[in-house]
């Protein structure tokens, strides 16, 4: 069943075109990475899928409903976003931050109920951060904050999870932890995941489908073994690389070729 579809979607900031006539269908339960150089439209695509931005042209459908006709609360009950950065100006604990994920389900001026607290506790347990729940969010490490934000997204009980560079600014250990958690949620709960990614090798390891954007258009779309090639990377990134096979997973692995190298 289709979770998200974009039909001839274009978007411009003022007079600056960013995306051009994007046709994209994401089935329920897929795990899709969006790749491309800076300025290719990755983050814009995520914002369009979340309803934060509206297309200049074309239509977006979520579970068969036109996204533009859904209320913000209805969208937030189906779609959760994990942003690159999340700033918390108040002295909230991790648990209080995760509780913000229940906002779309609360009536105006009403307090959280037992069900809200149950969902929050379940999200915290799923991410494995129970020992941190009473710590202040702003005192957590970068990896711990990202886990808290992921738990907050899960507290929305979404059908679609959108990730905008989820491993940016994280060390290699936390990168793996975050993507392991996302992969587990995708496999065990059937959560549809679309992530704007910067690291080609992480994308190939964790995502089943890769979409390459070049100058606001889809250049390649398919499984890593089919689309993560030296030719694609040269065309999209203007970079010289070698693509090998990962020794354990057997998925493509990208190695940069230094300029002047004869190998």
Q: What is the CA radius of gyration of the chain?
A: 19
User: If DSSP codes are grouped into helix, strand and coil, which group holds residue 140?
Assistant: coil
Nearest alpha-carbon partner for 51 in 78, 26, 24: 78
CB–CB of 198/218 below 8 Å?
Answer: no
Per-residue pLDDT in tens (0 to 9) along the chain, 263 residues: 668 999 999 999 988 999 999 999 999 999 999 999 998 999 999 999 999 999 999 999 999 999 999 999 999 999 999 988 788 878 899 999 999 999 998 876 566 788 999 999 999 999 999 999 999 999 999 999 999 999 999 999 999 999 999 998 889 999 999 999 999 999 999 999 999 999 999 999 999 999 999 999 999 999 999 999 999 999 999 999 999 999 899 999 999 888 765 54
Question: Which residue ranges make up each domain of the chain?
Answer: 79-157
Beta strands in the chain (DSSP E): 2-13, 16-27, 31-35, 57-62, 65-66, 79-82, 160-164, 192-196, 209-214, 217-222, 241-245, 252-256
Distance CA 235, CA 217 (A): 13
Q: Which two tokens stand for residue 75?
A: 């969208």
Residue 56, number of CB atoms within 10 A of its CB: 15
Distance CA 120, CA 143 (A): 19
Residues 6+ apart with CB under 8 A from 93: 133, 134, 135, 136, 137
pTM, rounded to two decimals: 0.93
What does the pLDDT read at residue 20? 96
Half-sphere exposure of residue 252, counting CA atoms within 13 Å on the CB side? Answer: 24
């Amino acid at each position: 069943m289709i979770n998200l579809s974009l039909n001839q979607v274009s978007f411009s900031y003022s007079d600056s075109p960013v995306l051009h006539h994007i046709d994209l269908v994401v089935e329920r339960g897929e795990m899709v990475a969006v790749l491309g150089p800076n300025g290719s439209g990755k983050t814009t695509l995520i914002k369009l899928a979340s309803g934060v931005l509206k297309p200049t042209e074309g239509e977006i459908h979520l579970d068969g409903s036109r996204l533009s006709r859904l209320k913000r609360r209805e969208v937030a009950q189906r779609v959760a976003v994990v942003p690159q950065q999340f700033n918390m100006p108040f002295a909230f604990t991790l648990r209080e931050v995760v509780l913000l994920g229940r906002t779309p389900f609360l009536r105006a001026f009403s307090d959280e109920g037992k069900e809200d607290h149950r969902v929050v506790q379940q999200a915290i347990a799923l991410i494995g951060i129970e020992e941190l729940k009473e710590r202040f969010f702003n005192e957590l490490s970068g990896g711990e904050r990202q886990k808290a934000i992921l738990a907050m997204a899960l507290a929305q009980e979404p059908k679609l999870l959108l990730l905008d560079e989820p491993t940016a600014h994280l060390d290699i250990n936390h990168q793996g932890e975050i993507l392991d958690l996302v992969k587990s949620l995708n496999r065990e709960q059937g959560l549809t995941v679309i992530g704007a990614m910067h690291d080609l090798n992480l994308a190939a390891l964790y995502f089943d489908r890769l979409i390459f954007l070049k100058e606001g258009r889809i250049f390649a779309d398919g499984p890593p073994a089919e689309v993560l090639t030296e030719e694609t990377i040269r065309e999209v990134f203007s970079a010289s690389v070698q693509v090998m096979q990962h020794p354990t997973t057997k998925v493509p692995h990208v190695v940069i070729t230094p300029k002047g190298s004869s190998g």
